[in-house]
């Protein structure tokens, strides 16, 4: 007859407080001695959460964005035209040096210390370009063709200004750190689009496609040489937000208001994920990839502009208390 040798298992850590970085302890069990309870870290689906409010409510924020979800830059906007620049640190927005010329529906790209603010409407529509160095703005060489409702992608030394309300609407210009030149056109028209990626690996996402102009699902990929049709969004919209890379991106919000939907791109297809808490269009959007993003400002049904910020995280980590029933 077999002899019982004892219970097999492992030790449970005794901690005075819960771990700070939950992603590193997913599935692990511990005993919180301060409250006398067993806890476990779990991983859940992506979700939006409230972030810190902008200091200045606005719409028509420069599209393409600069920075990431924890280092974002909110550039200019309108209703009426606003020159304010704000920097996000993952918790709160701080006003920094304003742009030299306030513009709405412009393009933008770069980081929180090195960004471009491109074209847009003062009004009227202008060819102006400004560069941010982390401290202040300076005017650099103008784009060749003025436009608004456009999007930027890339850095201060290698960038694209994509489509928009220009003539022709498919027009793309590239920046090499010294001057602007005509780049291969998109295959379809995009107005009030969003974008992601770099000057040699960029996505042009949705917007008004046409003519006739309706909120589109069309997405295109630029490989540094030409644009090709990429997997489409599941939902058509314009004037939304987004960010990431050409293989890992998000797309969210927009018009017709209120669009609450969020879609995540993994390099192969777009998947609808968790909705925003509140919709809006003509806001700002940034993100490093499809795991984190930021949506800020915009308007929630004209004429109401908002200061709100929403933060996307995927996955979301949380602590559960272990109970016995």
pLDDT tens, position by position, 129-146: 999 999 999 999 999 999
Distance of alpha carbon 234 from alpha carbon 173, whole angstroms: 28
pLDDT tens per residue, range 246-286: 999 999 999 887 789 999 999 999 999 999 999 888 999 99
- What pLDDT does 167 receive? 77
Mean pLDDT of all residues in 42-57 = 95
**Residue 212: per-residue pLDDT:** 64
pLDDT for residue 210? 63
Chain centre distance of CA 292? 8
Gap between the Cα atoms of 193 and 201, Å rounded: 17
Neighbours of 257 (CB within 10 A): 18
Q: Left, alpha or beta for 135 (phi > 0: left; psi -120 to 50: alpha)?
A: alpha
- Is residue 48 predicted with pLDDT exceeding 70? yes
DSSP-derived 3-state class of residue 176: coil
Spell out where 198-324 has E strands: 202-205, 208-209, 214-215, 219-222, 227-230, 241-244, 249-252, 262-265, 270-272, 284-289, 292-296, 309-313, 316-321
d(CA 251, CA 121) in angstroms, rounded, equals: 24
Asked whether the beta carbons of 283 and 298 are under 8 A apart, the reply is yes
Domain boundaries, the chain: 48-313
Contact call for residues 254 and 238 (beta carbons, < 8 A) = yes
The answer to whether residue 2 scores a pLDDT higher than 60 is no
Per-residue tokens: 133: 């160095």
pTM of this prediction exceeds 0.85 = yes
Top-confidence residue, 292 or 303: 292
- Whether residue 15 has pLDDT greater than 70: yes
The SS3 of residue 25 is helix
What pLDDT band is residue 197 in, cutting at 50, 70 and 90? very high
pLDDT higher than 80, residue 9: no
Mean of the pLDDT values across residues 152-174? 94
pLDDT value of residue 234: 96
> Of 214 and 221, which is predicted with more confidence?
221
Q: Which tens digits make up the pLDDT trace of 51-83?
A: 999 999 999 999 999 999 999 999 999 989 999
> Rounded distance, CA 82 to CA 201, Å?
31
The structure tokens listed for 25 are: 């302890």
**Sheet architecture: strand order including 47-50:** 47-50, 309-313, 292-296, 284-289
Share of the chain above pLDDT 90, in %: 79
194 near 242, Cβ under 8 Å? yes
Cα dist from 254 to 40, 41, 58, whole Å: 38, 34, 15
Whose CA is closest to 20, among 245, 303, 319, 223?
319
For 86-101, what is the mean pLDDT? Answer: 98
Instruction: State in words which class domain 48-313 has.
Output: mainly beta
- Mean local confidence (pLDDT), 81-94: 97
Cα 162 off chain centre by: 16
Tokens representing residue 67 in the block: 């920075």
- pLDDT attached to residue 324: 73
Q: Which two tokens stand for residue 59?
A: 């719409």
Share of the chain above pLDDT 70, in %: 95
Q: How confident is the model at residue 4 (pLDDT cuts 50, 70, 90)?
A: low
**What pLDDT, on a 0 to 100 scale, did the predictor assign at position 217?**
92
Taken as a whole, the chain contains a residue count of: 325
- Per-residue pLDDT reduced to its tens digit, 297-311: 999 876 789 999 999
């Amino acid at each position: 007859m077999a002899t019982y040798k004892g219970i097999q298992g492992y030790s449970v850590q005794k901690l005075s407080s819960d771990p700070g970085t939950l992603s590193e302890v997913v599935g692990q069990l511990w005993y919180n001695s301060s409250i006398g309870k067993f806890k476990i870290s779990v991983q859940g689906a992506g979700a939006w959460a409230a972030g810190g409010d902008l200091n200045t409510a606005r719409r028509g924020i420069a599209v393409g964005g600069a920075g990431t979800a924890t280092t974002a830059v909110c550039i200019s906007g309108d209703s009426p035209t606003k020159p304010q620049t704000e920097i996000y640190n993952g918790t709160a927005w701080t006003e920094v040096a304003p742009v030299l010329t306030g513009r709405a529906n412009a393009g933008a790209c770069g980081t929180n210390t090195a960004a471009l603010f491109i074209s847009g409407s003062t009004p009227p529509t202008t060819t102006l370009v400004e560069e941010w160095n982390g401290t202040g703005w300076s005017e650099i060489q103008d784009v060749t063709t003025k436009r608004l409702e456009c999007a930027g992608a890339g850095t201060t030394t290698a960038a694209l200004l994509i489509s928009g309300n220009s003539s022709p609407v498919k027009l793309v210009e590239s920046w090499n750190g010294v001057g602007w030149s005509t780049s291969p056109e998109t295959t379809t028209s995009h107005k009030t689009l969003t974008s992601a990626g770099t000057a040699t690996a960029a996505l042009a996402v949705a917007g008004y496609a046409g003519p006739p102009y309706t909120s589109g699902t069309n997405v295109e990929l630029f490989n540094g040489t030409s644009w090709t049709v990429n997997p489409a969004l599941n939902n058509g919209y314009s004037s939304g937000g987004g960010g990431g890379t050409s293989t890992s991106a998000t797309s969210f919000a927009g018009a017709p208001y209120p669009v609450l939907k969020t879609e995540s791109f993994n390099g192969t297809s777009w998947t609808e994920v968790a909705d925003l808490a509140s919709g809006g269009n003509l806001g700002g959007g940034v993100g490093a990839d499809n795991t984190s993003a930021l949506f800020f400002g915009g308007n929630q049904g004209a004429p109401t502009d908002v200061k709100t910020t929403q933060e996307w995280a995927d996955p979301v980590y949380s602590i559960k208390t272990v109970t016995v029933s």
